[in-house]
């Protein structure tokens, strides 16, 4: 059985006596027993029987070659030095040296000695020795901040300072595209497979030290964060290393593409239900690398990438910029964006969420029992990969976008301070901190939605921008946002069978954003109905489809938003010179209703869907003032008006999948 904790208080190993039968011990234990039993050395005249030999029950925690030699209770202090002299003499006669590291003369009488295990059979025969215990590691037991943070949403502190996720992620596999991994490290031993793939460039410079500990450092740390027995997020997950980075942590796009080809071929030959591909690297924007990632997702893999450590817009880099990839930024223990000298975590609309990535303790390649602290968005991505493994182990049929939606659903919102970012990036960067779903995760029956921001449009009155949902998502709402309030609205277009949210800049405007509301639920299907001409309402056909969102686009220079209306006619109500699109959705037991909040004098209005309901659309109606745009964040609709405005109304469309045997209700 694996340990589920480390780090907390001072834990002494439980040690087992080798007086038991040899079949209970591994081969090296049997060898020591045989030496003790079969050696011709006899206890000195008048001495007690041979001492016991004890060792830690946790093999990975043992410190080979260091032994505590403890004398009988009540033994005089002088016997400690006498026993040391005898041990040295007996060892020297057989060609061995011993080094005394520490003596004890308090509650216990004895000493710590560094010596070969071949000398043990001599030491146990010494007079006054009660037992010899192999030295072993102890660990501080306050759980690392990063693992504590993952469990915070579960509403409890770590029980007995023990990290206990809902499951160990054992039904998922992670393909780690990195440098080397020290697979013999006690954190990951038995859980890492070093594949035969190796595509790395030559190291830079003429004098390169290719020490194993240097080549393995990044990959070993990453493997430990994912599935380390003490530092890992998902401690039962298997990790398959695909080497694409050299000893300097450098690779090529071509090498990464070859690595993905290798993974794809491997999965075709040996299909696996739950696969995560972890990409803890970053490069400049690459269409090829993004396309390869998109293909892996289309074939069912959850692809998770580091956002980058350049304190920059993640959309400028690959694979972080690929929309189908789950891109992860990094925060520190104070829930601030990770900072590294002049660099720090990347941000922006291409980031999906943030995770712990600063001062993360995990396996070190310096030795098989060493630990070290590292920082970066690679570590943050590894946390997300561990969470994904736990989600997939609870539901192996979850699609990549369902995994993302569950991760976002259980993330902690509005914890991160994004104020240092520019206005554009503060607006589009998700304020979501990754967290572990509870054991009783019920999201498989829920409607889950997220907001997807486009890039900012150009500034001419003909410029537009487009936001799209991922594969497997349905667009249930579409809105636009202009920081200066100059916009003429948005429409929903259909391109190659996929709905697109299109936002239009207004004359003299400084750019506009399109914001799609993208949702997942088994059986969910959405379609769009346009108003026949300006000034006419757009409405849904039949009772099977629910109105989940409205768009509006003005043919004049001033926008008047459409207003959703539910009832016998589920329609988007518009004024003259305004065209509208009604987004109409159907799913078993789907129901949708409206919530409205009117403010006559505030510059910002908020309306939120209640627990159990999901926001699918956010719209606004002004009181004769310019509206910057409705913004959907989490389950709330925020409406901002221009400075000095007369107020506005915020309207939220709230939908849910009605639980079995529960009557139709209206949210309040």
- Whole-number Cα distances in Å, 256 to 26, 70, 272, 281, 295: 41, 56, 21, 10, 14
Q: Higher-confidence residue: 11 or 195?
A: 195
Tell me the pairing of strands 326-331 and 353-356. Answer: parallel
Decide if pLDDT at 23 tops 60. Answer: no
User: Do the beta carbons of residue 187 and residue 330 sit within 8 Å?
Assistant: no
Angle between helices 287-298 and 253-269 (to 10 degrees): 10
SS (H, E, C) 20-57: CCHHHCCHHHHHHHHHHHHCCCCCCCCCCCCCEEEEEC
Decide if pLDDT at 104 tops 80. Answer: yes
Decide if pLDDT at 253 tops 60. Answer: yes
Decide if pLDDT at 581 tops 90. Answer: yes
C-alpha–C-alpha distance, residues 664 and 592, integer Å: 10
C-alpha–C-alpha distance, residues 114 and 96, integer Å: 11
The dihedral through the CA atoms of 58, 60, 63, 65 has a sign that is positive
Residue 518's pLDDT band, with cuts at 50, 70 and 90, is very high
Strand, helix or coil at 160? helix
> pLDDT tens digits, residue range 520-559?
999 999 999 999 888 899 999 877 899 999 998 987 665 5
What separation, in Å, do the N-terminal and C-terminal C-alpha atoms of the chain show? 49
- Whole-number Cα distances in Å, 658 to 92, 275, 418, 446, 498: 81, 32, 36, 9, 27
Ranges 108-112, 428-432, 512-516: which has the least confidence: 108-112
pLDDT of residue 40: 47
Residue 102's pLDDT band, with cuts at 50, 70 and 90, is confident
Decide if pLDDT at 572 tops 60. Answer: yes
What are the φ and ψ backbone dihedral angles of 89, each rounded to 5 degrees?
Answer: -65, -45
- Please give the sequence-ordered ranges of beta strands (E in DSSP) within 401-545, or none if there are none: 412-413, 432-433, 448-453, 464-468, 474-481, 487-495, 498-505, 513-520, 525-530, 538-539
CA 613: distance to chain centroid?
26
Strand, helix or coil at 291? helix
pLDDT of residue 667: 64
Exposure b/e, 476-488, CB count within 10 A at least 16 = b:
bbbbbbbbebbbb
Decide if pLDDT at 14 tops 60. Answer: no
> pLDDT tens digits, residue range 299-342?
999 999 999 999 999 999 999 999 999 999 999 999 999 997 77
pLDDT of residue 24: 33
Angle at 455 between CA 450 and CA 456, to 5 degrees: 120
Decide if pLDDT at 9 tops 70. Answer: no
State the catalytic residues.
178, 218, 378
C-alpha–C-alpha distance, residues 236 and 30, integer Å: 29
Token pair for 344: 């720090």
Residue 485's pLDDT band, with cuts at 50, 70 and 90, is confident
pLDDT of residue 10: 28
Ranges 34-43, 472-481, 542-551: which has the least confidence: 34-43
Token pair for 259: 């690595």
Q: Higher-confidence residue: 164 or 207?
A: 164
Decide if pLDDT at 11 tops 50. Answer: no
User: Do the beta carbons of residue 72 and residue 130 sit within 8 Å?
Assistant: yes
In this prediction, residues 263-270 reach a mean pLDDT of 94
User: Do the beta carbons of residue 379 and residue 357 sit within 8 Å?
Assistant: yes
Angle at 452 between CA 446 and CA 454, to 5 degrees: 165
pLDDT of residue 663: 62
**Full-model pTM:** 0.80
Average pLDDT, the chain: 84
Ranges 99-103, 113-117, 405-409, 601-605: which has the least confidence: 601-605
């Amino acid at each position: 059985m694996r340990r589920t904790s480390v780090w907390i208080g001072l834990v002494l190993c439980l040690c087992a006596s080798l007086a038991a039968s040899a079949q209970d011990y591994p081969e090296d234990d049997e060898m020591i027993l045989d030496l003790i039993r079969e050696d011709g050395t006899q206890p000195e005249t008048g001495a007690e029987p041979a001492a016991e030999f004890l060792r830690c029950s946790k093999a990975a925690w043992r410190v080979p070659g260091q032994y505590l030699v403890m004398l009988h209770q009540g033994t005089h202090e002088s016997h400690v030095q006498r026993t040391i002299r005898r041990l040295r003499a007996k060892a020297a006669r057989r060609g061995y040296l011993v080094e005394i590291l520490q003596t004890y003369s308090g509650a216990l009488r004895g000493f710590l000695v560094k010596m070969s295990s071949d000398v043990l059979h001599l030491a146990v025969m010494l007079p006054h020795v009660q037992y010899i215990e192999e030295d072993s590691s102890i660990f501080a037991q306050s759980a690392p901040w990063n693992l504590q943070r993952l469990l915070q949403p579960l509403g409890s502190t770590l029980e007995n300072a023990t990290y206990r996720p809902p499951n160990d992620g054992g039904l998922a596999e992670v393909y780690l595209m990195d440098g080397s991994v020290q697979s013999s490290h006690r954190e990951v031993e038995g859980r890492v497979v070093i594949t035969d793939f190796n595509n790395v460039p030559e190291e830079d410079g003429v004098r390169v030290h290719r020490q194993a500990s240097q080549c393995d450092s990044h990959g070993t740390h990453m493997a430990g964060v994912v599935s380390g027995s003490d530092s890992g997020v998902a401690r039962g997950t298997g990790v398959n290393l695909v080497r694409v980075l050299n000893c300097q942590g450098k690779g090529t796009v071509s090498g990464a593409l070859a690595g993905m080809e290798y993974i794809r071929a491997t999965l075709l030959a040996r299909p696996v239900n739950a696969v995560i591909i972890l990409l803890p690297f970053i490069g400049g924007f690459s269409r090829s690398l993004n396309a390869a990632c998109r293909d892996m997702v289309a074939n069912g893999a959850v692809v998770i990438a580091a956002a980058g450590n350049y304190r920059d817009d993640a959309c400028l880099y690959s694979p972080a910029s690929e929309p189908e990839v789950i891109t992860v930024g990094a925060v520190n223990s104070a829930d601030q964006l990770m900072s590294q000298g002049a660099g720090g975590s990347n941000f922006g609309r291409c980031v999906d969420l943030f995770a712990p990535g600063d001062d993360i303790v995990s396996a070190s390649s310096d030795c098989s029992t060493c630990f070290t602290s590292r920082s970066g968005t690679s570590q943050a991505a590894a946390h997300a990969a561990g969470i994904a493994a736990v989600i997939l182990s609870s539901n192996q049929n979850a699609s990549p976008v369902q995994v993302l939606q569950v991760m976002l659903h259980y993330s902690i919102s509005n914890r991160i301070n994004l104020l240092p970012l520019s206005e554009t990036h503060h607006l589009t960067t998700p304020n979501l901190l990754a967290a572990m779903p509870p054991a009783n995760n019920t999201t498989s029956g829920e409607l889950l939605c997220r907001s997807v921001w486009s890039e900012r449009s150009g500034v001419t009155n003909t410029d537009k921008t487009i936001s799209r949902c991922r594969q497997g998502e349905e667009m249930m709402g579409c809105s636009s946002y202009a920081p200066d309030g100059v916009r003429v609205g948005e429409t929903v277009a259909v391109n190659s069978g996929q709905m697109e949210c299109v936002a239009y800049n207004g004359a003299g405007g400084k750019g506009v954003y399109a914001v799609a509301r993208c949702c997942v639920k088994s059986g969910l299907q959405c379609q769009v109905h346009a108003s026949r001409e300006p000034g006419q309402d757009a409405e849904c056909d039949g009772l099977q489809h629910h109105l989940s969102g409205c768009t509006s686009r003005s043919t004049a220079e001033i926008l008047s938003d459409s207003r959703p209306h539910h009832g016998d006619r589920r329609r988007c109500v518009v004024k003259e010179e305004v065209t509208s699109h009604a987004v109409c959705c159907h799913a078993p037991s789907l129901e949708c209703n409206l919530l409205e909040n009117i403010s006559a004098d505030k510059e910002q209005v908020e309306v939120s869907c209640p627990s159990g309901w999901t926001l699918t659309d956010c719209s606004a109606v002004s009181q004769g003032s310019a509206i910057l745009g409705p913004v959907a964040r989490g389950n709330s609709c925020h409406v901002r008006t221009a400075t000095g405005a007369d107020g506005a109304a915020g309207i939220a469309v709230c939908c849910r999948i009605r639980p079995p045997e529960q009557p139709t209700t209206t949210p309040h």
